[in-house]
Amino acid sequence: MWLIAVLASASCGGDSEPALPPTVRSTTAVVEARARPVRVKQLDLNSCNSEGQSDAPVIVIAHESNAERYIAPVKEALTRAVDQSRSVYGWASEKPIWVHMFASDDAFVQGLEQLGGLSPNPAEDYRQFFGTNGIDLATGRDAVYMNTIVSRGPNWVPYVATHEYFHIIQGHVGCSECLPTWFLEGMADWEAIKLLGDPETTWQSVLVTEQRAGRYPPLSALTTAEQWNAAQGVAWPYYKARGAIAYLEDLAGSRAVADILRDSAAGSFNFQFKFPEVTGIGLDQFEAGLLPFFERLAIRTTVPTPVP
């Protein structure tokens, strides 16, 4: 099992081509924490697709120099993710999955348009996103698109790439439209954490605090993408979703999530019926048990401060 990484350089655009103009936006905490971006050229991104690599399971391309440093950790992370998806979920792509990495909002949006086929308005909506998944137009294969300038730490980029890879798995193994958003997002997060470790060391304590304060909607109100997006304006629902998946595994075993995902591919699948069949409890009872489990999760993942 191996991966191919390519730094897209002069072959992706001539030096004489104009740079993209800087984007004028109000700054946020995320923006202020970013590294200084490389100025982006109007690249012919389709020319960056490399030939003769069809036997590689994942092809990683850095379209800007600042993204090159993430090639090695993303390669390592996705090597493990491909093995994990094959052993646990019974699926790994027979054709390479493409990973396109950018180091600025402008190039990320441009890549989504030229490589992913998004129209300009939807592509602009992804500005400042960590990453997403879709299709590589040139090959028709699954692809992950990463905006590496948006980062919460050194381990964040491979973590998000792995998260997006497991969204690809969901579409091949099960029926993404048949499952609630909290389940899909939580599964992708939790699989990445199990493979790579926590990218954020304080999320468990934040999870407990927010759940105690009642700032998280119940899982029943995190079912649709619209509900999920609305919740992000109040609290960070990814924490609750990944904690809920951890609780599901605590109740029903490490294969429970894979079983639910696989069963969702059946035409008669109903999540409301399947969930209690797997866990032994209904969703209301599951919701009531979340805070006690989150508290246990925070305790067992807290690293004690060494005594002087």
Distance CA 41, CA 49 (A): 17
User: What total of structural domains would you count in the chain?
Assistant: 2
Q: pLDDT by residue (tens digit) across 279-299?
A: 999 999 999 999 999 999 998
Domain boundary among 131, 158, 173: 173
Is 202 domain-assigned? yes
Tokens of 280: 């032994």
Domain boundary among 153, 173, 193: 173
Q: In this structure, are 245 and 263 located in the same domain?
A: yes
Domain boundary among 109, 140, 173: 173
Q: In this structure, are 8 and 141 located in the same domain?
A: yes
Bridge partner list, 7: 62
Q: Do the Cβ atoms of 57 and 97 come closer than 8 Å?
A: yes
Residue 1 has pLDDT above 50, yes or no: no
pLDDT band at 45 (very low <50, low <70, confident <90, very high): low
pLDDT band at 94 (very low <50, low <70, confident <90, very high): confident
Residue 301 pLDDT: 63
Q: In this structure, are 38 and 91 located in the same domain?
A: yes
Is 306 domain-assigned? no
86 φ/ψ angles, rounded to the nearest 5 degrees: -70, -45
- pTM listed for this prediction: 0.82
Alpha-carbon distance values, 241 to 39, 128, 244 (Å)? 36, 22, 5
Q: In this structure, are 24 and 169 located in the same domain?
A: yes
Q: For 245-278, b where at least 16 C-beta lie within 10 A, e where not — what string?
A: bbbbbeebeeebbbebbbbbeeeebebeebbeeb
Distance CA 128, CA 294 (A): 30
Residue 9 pLDDT: 37
Range of the domain at 165: 3-173
